[in-house]
Amino acid sequence: MFEKVCHIGPALNVQGGISSVLVSYRDLFDLPEKNFISSYNGSFIKSLPLFFCLCLKLLLNPPKAPYFQIHTSFNGSFFRKFLISLCLRLRGKKYIAHIHGSQFKRMCTTSPALVKCFIRSYFKHSAMVICITPDMQEFLDNFVGKGACRYVVIPNPSPTIAAAPVDLISHGLPVKIVFSGRYGHRKGVYDLIEAFSKATFKTPVELYLFGDGEVEQVKAKAAASPKATHIHVSDWLKHGDYLKQLSNFDLLALPSYAETFGMSLVEAMGIGLPVVAARSGGVPFVVRDGVDGYLIDAGDVQALSQKLQCLVDDEKMRVQMGRDAWNGCKDRFSGVTVLKLLRDCYDRLELKNA
């Protein structure tokens, strides 16, 4: 059944989280290109003709798919998908609302009353709501109304889980910490620089930062650090290039204030790197505190500094947590695991409609 589902979302070549998930679906599950319908091509203005043509197609001659899995984020993404869901409803088609986006909760709580009605209607009329973490399911159940929707938690699959964990012992010194993400307050990069600066490491260590956004501000913050010579600030790397370099590092830090899933955490853990991350959004679902690494409260610079010291100075712990992280990713976020969850989801829908 799942292999016949039609996925609606951004074009597969658009830079962004949902596109990456859809590419993973296509590659890991061997789905044909015809199973993916684009509603956005990376530019709001240039996407308008594409979007309106899609709405007309869904109204006049919709694809013969048993279900439409609509991949939804916040703001413009939601409004596009809401209108698409109306087109499907007018034709009696069933859709699954698959929610992504770290800012979706904020949109739900801060939007005007009319928009909140649209959001609730979108979910209430869906055949199923797919959340990528349990905390999103709990939030939506409270926001939409207890028992108003059917939910299932299905994490994003990781296509980069290694066949074996990286050999951290062979790396030698210095220990290399890596951060990857949008430079700015939300990802906690300024907290990370401050925590690294305050830490009293007993082991030689370097901090490598990769990202876009507030590049000059991050460079200035790093330059003002007493450990400036040990902090390396780089611009954003192409995702493939970043993944090629990832195995050269020893641990990843992501002290983000808002994170729906944290794919960069899964990418690191999936090759055997331990992580230090903030308890935000769905991160506690991804990172097992004390097993895959450590969790700290977002904004707690002192705790972040302490946990970085623990992993940098204790090689045995760093190696063990890296191996445990790899084992956990293999079991929880592999394509095989996620495909089974998706198939089970659609099998339950079929049983309900039988």
> pLDDT tens digit string along 242-292?
999 999 999 999 999 988 888 899 999 999 999 999 999 899 999 999 999
Residue 147, pLDDT score: 92
The answer to whether residue 213 sits within a structural domain is yes
Residue 20, pLDDT score: 86
User: Are 194 and 129 found together in one domain?
Assistant: no
The answer to whether residue 219 sits within a structural domain is yes
User: Are 339 and 301 found together in one domain?
Assistant: no
Do residues 193 and 231 make contact, with C-beta atoms less than 8 angstroms apart?
yes
Residue 354, pLDDT score: 62
User: Are 133 and 173 found together in one domain?
Assistant: no
Regions of the chain short of the pLDDT cut 70: 354
Q: How far is it, in rounded angstroms, from Cα 116 to Cα 120? A: 6
Neighbours of 143 (CB within 10 A): 15
Q: What is the DSSP string of 194-261?
A: HHHHH---SS-EEEEEE--BSHHHHHHHHHTSTTGGGEEEE-PPPHHHHHHHHTT-SEEEE--S--SS
User: Are 119 and 202 found together in one domain?
Assistant: no
Q: How far is it, in rounded angstroms, from Cα 96 to Cα 80? A: 15
The answer to whether residue 183 sits within a structural domain is yes
The answer to whether residue 162 sits within a structural domain is no
**Residue holding tokens 């808002």?**
258
The domain tally of the chain equals 2
User: Are 18 and 97 found together in one domain?
Assistant: yes
Instruction: Give the CATH number, domain containing residue 265.
Output: 3.40.50.2000
Condensed to tens digits (0 to 9), the pLDDT of residues 176-229 reads 999 999 899 999 999 999 999 999 999 999 999 999 999 999 999 999 999 999
Residue 136, pLDDT score: 94
The answer to whether residue 344 sits within a structural domain is yes
User: Are 221 and 104 found together in one domain?
Assistant: no
3-state secondary structure 107-150: HHHHCCHHHHHHHHHHHHCCCEEEECCHHHHHHHHHHHCCCCCC
Distances (CA, A) of 93 to 63, 68, 86, 145, 326: 10, 8, 10, 23, 40
Residue 83, pLDDT score: 98
DSSP annotation of 125 reads: T
User: Are 218 and 118 found together in one domain?
Assistant: no
User: Are 99 and 229 found together in one domain?
Assistant: no
Cα R_g (the chain), whole angstroms = 21
The answer to whether residue 89 sits within a structural domain is yes
User: Are 64 and 177 found together in one domain?
Assistant: no
The answer to whether residue 27 sits within a structural domain is yes
User: Are 317 and 344 found together in one domain?
Assistant: no
Query: Whole domain around residue 212: which residue ranges?
Result: 168-332
Q: How far is it, in rounded angstroms, from Cα 314 to Cα 240? A: 30
User: Are 15 and 124 found together in one domain?
Assistant: yes
pTM of the model as a whole: 0.89
**Residue holding tokens 């859809």?**
22
User: Are 226 and 302 found together in one domain?
Assistant: yes
The answer to whether residue 141 sits within a structural domain is yes
